[in-house]
A and B are shown apart, each in its own frame.
Chain A
Amino acid sequence: MSTFVEFENVSLRYDDAGPKAIEDISFKVEEGAFISVVGPSGCGKSTLMKLVSGLKEPSDGYVYVNGRQVGGPLGIVGMAFQAANLLPWRTTLDNVMLPLEIVEPWRSARKARRAEYEEMARAQLARVGLAGFEDKFPWELSGGMQQRASICRALIHKPRLLMLDEPFGALDAFTREELWCMLRDLWQQQPFTVILVTHDLREAVFLADTVYVMSKRPGRILVQREIDLPRPRDLDVTYTDAFASHVHVLREAIGRVRES
């Protein structure tokens, strides 16, 4: 497999004179891999996302996506955040179709292929269990449903990279585990690369191939851990010793970050 995202000694300062938000970060993500980034709040996880999506330029070092240095927004990434951020004046279906109105080549053909786009959006919603909710408005959906719709919106333009910034942070434990499985299934049906930022170590271990632990600011990568649990993973795997020992090792690493 080829490298899809690569960070080479990347640092970023939000202010020219200010402190570094992240420092000297290097890592590679293979195409189609599922990686997860964990670390204390304020350590620069969201900053990492902004660098990959081209919203920010590194102060030092290089960011490559798809073999090319990132010089601006690419349109081949999809993003979702902790807040679903759906537009309240649009139905769920129209919310999901929003990226098709912006990203080329979808955008140019949106009038001619409207019916086809709608079919795509309906199929995507069905895949996350939202069939029948297409014409509902966001306020008519539960928090978990809104988050499902938000992930549909992130995937509708068939991005090659999905970036999730604490997407399940605001949900209750049961809904969260349902959405883990939903995300796992989406990723296994349709090949794309995932970068998942999270606070939840169990979430990271359950979903990812590789987990990175970041230090307090300035954020650096302290630990890289391969999760060798066999796939496809079932929720039962979270009760195995192998799973527990991964979580345990990561928790210790985070503990050391906190104390330092």
Chain B
Amino acid sequence: MRLSPKLISRLAPWLLTGFLLVCWQAVCEGFEIKPFLFPAPSLVFKTGIEMFEPIMTHAFHTFFTTLVGFAVAVAVGAVLGALLGSSPVIYKALYPMLVGFNSVPKVAFVPVLVVWFGIGTIPAIITAFLISFFPVVVNVATGLATLEPELEDVLRSLGASRLDILRKVGLPRAMPYFFASLKVAVTLAFVGSVISETVASNLGIGYLMMSASSSMNMPLVFAGLIVIGAMGVVMYELFAWLERRLTKWANRGQNAAI
């Protein structure tokens, strides 16, 4: 039987994952590594089944926290990006500040947020927001700022206002950039919420892993890691799919004037 290239590329990620799991298992067994240092995947899996309910409760909480922070990030990011992309002055004024802000590790904000809002979900939502809005801003601004001067001339000579140009050309053009940023932003949002939960929460996967590691329950820590990773992949794929659906034109005509 011969596999078509399409089927191979579909199977490839699963095959690689399976291969790495096998290697991992082999290393743990071969070197007899202690489970409280580096548990084998079979043990992680077993723990995952045993602890299914608490893991799901915490995972759902993290998921919810992440999505709220991400939603705020998308809204704020799109508006800020639209402002930056449509006005060179605003761009010049705000961009250095945004870059500076983005360079600060977000974990440094968590203690401040705890002082302001107490321990729990709100700092996690805010951290998820803070870490994930930047790529949205940059992408929307780039999409808007790279309009062909001749197209702009055509529209302006017809008497189009800046708002007309933004609505008819700027925003549709920025859409592929926007959707491309969503899939990156949603994975970052997971990073943000889990960081905050680890430091300052008593709910969520981050908290679960923290408390598991303090009781040397390594298999549970790894189960938590895998659940976060899985949620990230699922959300990334969801937004990648949305991107392909909604901005087909951007992936089709490479020679068309975009």
Give chain A's interface residues, CB within 8 Å of chain B: 50, 53-55, 72-75, 77, 79-81, 83-89, 98-99, 101-104, 137-140, 146, 153-154, 157
Contact = CB atoms under 8 A, between A and B. Distances in A.
Interface string B159-174: 1100010001100100
Given A83-B150, A98-B168, A88 B157 contact: no
A75 B175 CA distance: 28
B8 interface: no
A55 B153 contact: yes
Contacts, number: 81
A104 B168 CA distance: 16
Given A55-B153, A102-B159, A103-B159, A86 B168 contact: no
Contacts of B150: 81, 83, 85
Interface stretch (B36-44, B117-125, B186-194, B249-257): B249-257
Contacts of B154: 79-81, 85, 153-154
Residue picked from B150, B159, B160, B175, most chain A C-beta under 10 Å: B159
Contact of A137 (B151, B164, B175, B249): B249
Nearest to A141: B256
A56 to B, nearest CB: 10
A155 B254 CA distance: 27
B138 to A, nearest CB: 22
A153 B169 CA distance: 15
Contacts of A72: 159
Instruction: Summarize A's interface: helix, strand, loop or mixed.
Output: loop
B258 interface: yes
B148 A83 contact: yes
Contact of B158 (A73, A138, A146): A73
A154 B150 CA distance: 13
Contacts of B158: 73, 75, 99, 102-103, 157
Contacts of A153: 154
A75 B156 CA distance: 9
Contacts of B156: 55, 73
A68 to B, nearest CB: 15
A77 B253 contact: no
A167 to B, nearest CB: 11
Residue picked from B158, B169, B254, most chain A C-beta under 10 Å: B158
A-B pairs, 10 with minimum CB distance:
A139-B253, A139-B256, A53-B157, A88-B256, A85-B151, A138-B256, A73-B159, A81-B150, A75-B159, A89-B249
